[in-house]
Amino acid sequence: MWIANNWTDYEVLDCGGGEKLERWGSQLLQRPDPQAIWPRAEADAVWRRANAVYHRSSSGGGRWEIRRLPEQWAISYRELTFQLKPMSFKHTGLFPEQATNWDFIMDTIRGAGRPVSVLNLFAYTGGATLAAAAAGASVCHVDASKGMTQWARENAASSGLADKPIRWIVDDCKKFVQRELRRGRRYDAIIMDPPSYGRGPSGETWKIEEDVADFVALTMQLLSDQPLFVLISSYSTGLAPSVMSYLLGITAGAQHRGRIESQEIGLPVKSTGLVLPCGSSARFIAM
């Protein structure tokens, strides 16, 4: 498992009973987590310290119970700074387990010894974009949500990266890839974190199990003649790490020499020393 264990501003304090208690800077949040099926290790008194609790609804979705939480606050990872706020459906605007991939992105780009162009698809609030830009790459950040893209720009400014070569694109990812192919543009590294289900800005639908294989094959045509890496992440239980590695093997791996790695990604749990599974990733690393 690839474990995001280099955080100082974030930690999972405890988890169990379908919930997790997390420290985001100085704020404690209690949120649902279906993977945490074991009993809690910490006493109820520890859990009651949460600044906010997300309650699931039996009819779907849920709501935040805000006890004492600022409207927005910031945490840092290495040289990156992220703005956080409670969002609908339990999110904060950041997936901290992705830090293990940010480490890979930064270290690989810095070790390349050459200019690197990166395409980040389904780029959300820009964690991978910022990691690549901080390492010296030029980045094209693509997401269908105007609000998420603006949030990513704010994170870039907070991280001192506002003047870095980042193209901010609000578009349906598939349509953007098709246009880039027609324009003849190529990228040395491609990152994607496709949602399980989503809609584009013009109502385009996305279902990962139905659409991701064709999309990966299409997108790999954008790799340059000397690629550096491809990184795919997924939170869908229907896509095991091996499935994503097979997708990379028959696309990027068939076109370029390299190796493929895939693993679950996870977060260490302070109370027990266990690792909470949080999805999976696969990497093609060119040779």
Whether 41 is in a domain gets the answer yes
Q: Are residues 109 and 172 in the same domain?
A: yes
Domain assignment present for residue 91? The answer is: no
133 and 247 in a single domain? The answer is yes
- 66 and 114 co-located in one domain: no
Residue at token pair 């990604």: 265
Per the CB < 8 A criterion, the answer to whether 187 and 117 are in contact is yes
Is 194 domain-assigned?
yes
Boundaries of domain holding 270: 96-286
CB atoms within 10 A of CB 72: 11
On whether residue 181 sits in a domain, the answer given is yes
Average pLDDT, the chain: 94
38 and 126 together in one domain: no
| Residue at which a domain ends, from 30, 52, 78 | 78
Is the four-CA dihedral 207, 142, 87, 193 of positive or negative sign?
positive
Q: The CATH number of the domain where 40 resides is what? A: 2.60.40.1180
CA 102/CA 256 separation, integer angstroms: 23
- Report yes or no: 172 and 202 within 8 Å, Cβ to Cβ: yes
Question: Which residue, 78, 105, 133, sits at the end of a domain?
Answer: 78
H or E segment and range at residue 86: none
- The pLDDT tens digits of the residues spanning 43-67 come to 999 999 999 999 998 777 899 999 9
Residue 86 lies in a domain: no
The CATH number of whichever domain residue 275 belongs to comes to: 3.40.50.150
- Cα separation, 1 vs 4, whole angstroms: 10
**Which residues, 6 or more positions from 212, have their beta carbon under 8 angstroms from its beta carbon?**
194, 234, 239, 247
Q: What is the pTM of this model?
A: 0.94
**What is the phi-psi region of residue 14: left when phi exceeds 0, alpha when psi lies from -120 to 50, beta otherwise?**
beta
Q: With respect to residue 190, please indicate whether it lies within any of the assigned structural domains.
A: yes
Domain presence at residue 89: no
Per-residue pLDDT of the chain (287 residues; tens, 9 = 90+): 999 999 999 999 999 999 999 999 999 999 999 999 999 999 999 999 999 999 998 777 899 999 999 999 999 999 999 999 999 889 999 999 999 999 999 999 999 999 999 999 999 999 999 999 999 999 999 999 999 999 999 999 999 999 999 999 999 999 999 999 999 999 999 999 988 777 766 677 777 778 889 999 999 999 999 999 999 999 876 688 999 999 999 999 999 999 999 999 999 999 999 999 999 999 999 99
Residue 83 placed within a domain: no
> Which among 267, 264, 263 is positioned nearest to 279, based on CA atoms?
264
Q: Are residues 42 and 70 in the same domain?
A: yes
End of a domain among 12, 44, 78? 78
Q: What is the pLDDT of residues 108-147, one digit of tens each?
A: 999 999 999 999 999 999 999 999 999 999 999 999 999 9
* Same domain, residue pair 72 and 102: no
Instruction: Please state, in angstroms and rounded to a whole number, the distance separating the CA atoms of residues 16 and 36.
Output: 5
105 and 192 within one domain? yes
Cα 220 from Cα 222, distance rounded (Å): 5
- Number of structural domains the chain divides into: 2
